[in-house]
């Protein structure tokens, strides 16, 4: 039986705001990044930034800063810290 990582995205609409958590339909980190960028452009154009976590509980997070209005991709970087609590649910 093959299992894959479950990725979660925390979207922040303000730098100090409480994040909204969404489960991502992705089997790899590159897919999770693509889906998050697409979601930020389509649904949350005003997002300050998003963070991608895998469901394994690792403390490594991939952060995507909000893209400028020109449609360019936002800055992508990896950080290590504790997962935030969400206003909707917890993985």
Structure tokens at 35: 């889906």
Per-residue pLDDT, 75: 56
Cα–Cα distance measured from residue 45 to residue 5, given in angstroms and rounded to the nearest whole number: 27
- The band of 40, judged by pLDDT with boundaries at 50, 70 and 90, is confident
pLDDT: is 75 or 25 the higher one?
25
Cα–Cα distance measured from residue 76 to residue 44, given in angstroms and rounded to the nearest whole number: 17
For the chain, the 3-state helix, strand and coil shares in percent, each to the nearest 5, are: 15, 30, 55
Per-residue pLDDT, 1: 44
Per-residue pLDDT, 71: 53
pLDDT: is 25 or 67 the higher one?
25
Residue 15 has pLDDT above 70, yes or no: no
């Amino acid at each position: 039986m093959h299992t894959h990582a479950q990725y979660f995205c925390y979207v922040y609409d303000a730098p100090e705001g409480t994040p909204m958590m969404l489960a991502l339909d992705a089997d790899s980190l590159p897919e999770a990044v693509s889906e998050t960028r697409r979601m930020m452009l389509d649904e949350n154009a005003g997002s300050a930034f998003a963070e991608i976590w895998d469901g394994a509980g690792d403390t490594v997070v991939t952060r995507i800063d909000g893209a400028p209005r020109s449609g360019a991709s936002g800055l992508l970087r990896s950080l290590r810290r504790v997962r935030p609590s969400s206003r909707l649910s917890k993985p």
